[in-house]
Chain A
Amino acid sequence: QKEVEQNSGPLSVPEGAIASLNCTYSDRGSQSFFWYRQYSGKSPELIMSIYSNGDKEDGRFTAQLNKASQYVSLLIRDSQPSDSATYLCAVNYSGTYKYIFGTGTRLKVLA
């Protein structure tokens, strides 16, 4: 079982819709969770971090964390074609400095 799992997609949504991206992780002790966006041929860029159960909103982005169920999700409201990218979930491996990334979900926002 992979330590951080994401559906590879592609996830296609129409412009203006809500895109929902999910991530599950296996390490129950993980405390830190991050979402990154990666455009093709570019390096990952940080979108959000979340550390506590519940929702965290930043502009059009909302991260949701449920440690009991070991999942973290990212909602993108009012999706734009420029949001088309691969979204990476990253989880800190408890007790270490190691960050485990999922393989990413490719999002396509259709104009």
Chain B
Amino acid sequence: GAGVSQSPRYKVAKRGQDVALRCDPISGHVSLFWYQQALGQGPEFLTYFQNEAQLDKSGLPSDRFFAERPEGSVSTLKIQRTQQEDSAVYLCASSLATAWPGYEQYFGPGTRLTVT
């Protein structure tokens, strides 16, 4: 079946612009995660949704970052007033699981954001 899809795949933004990154999880996957991956680093957790509820947003680096999943399917990560340090690959992952022992996560292809 179809995997996780993300759009756009590449985004160039001028410093100060707002951007919106979209994630379409695998159909039926209740859990959805957003990560930020800098070059040469592992993914860093940003936020977690279970259906439409945002249960953990402890990884969002500042109040410029906002995520939503209003109908429990597609999710959008919005970054306001982008800064150069926001340049990274933003990964979305979905999982069928909703509880322990764990969430086997399946990643989308990512959106590479470059802030100039």
Interface contacts (Cβ under 8 Å), in number, total: 62
Chain A residues near B106: list those with CB within 8 A.
46
Tell me, in angstroms, the Cα distance from A45 to B3 when the chains sit together. Answer: 11
B105 within 8 A of A: yes
- What is the interface of chain B mostly: helix, strand, loop, or mixed? loop
Contact, CB under 8 Å: B104 / A49? yes
Interchain CB contact under 8 A, A43 and B110: yes
- Cβ of B40 and Cβ of A103 under 8 Å apart? yes
Is residue A10 contacting chain B, with contact meaning CB distance below 8 A?
no
Chain A: number of interface residues, binned into ranges: 20 to 34
Instruction: State the interface size on chain B (CB cutoff 8 A).
Output: 26
Contacting pair B105 A99 (CB below 8 A): yes
Within 8 Å of chain B (Cβ to Cβ): is A44? yes
Q: Is the CB of A51 within 8 A of B42?
A: no
Task: Mark out the residues of chain A between 13 and 50 whose CB falls within 8 Å of any chain B CB in the assembled complex.
Answer: 31-34, 36, 42-46, 49
Type the 1/0 row for B8-34, where 1 means its CB is closer than 8 Å to any CB of A. 000000000000000000000000010
What separation, in Å, do the CA atoms of A62 and B107 have in the docked complex?
A: 22
- The 6 A-B residue pairs whose C-beta atoms are closest, nearest first, are A32-B102, A101-B42, A97-B48, A43-B107, A97-B56, A51-B101
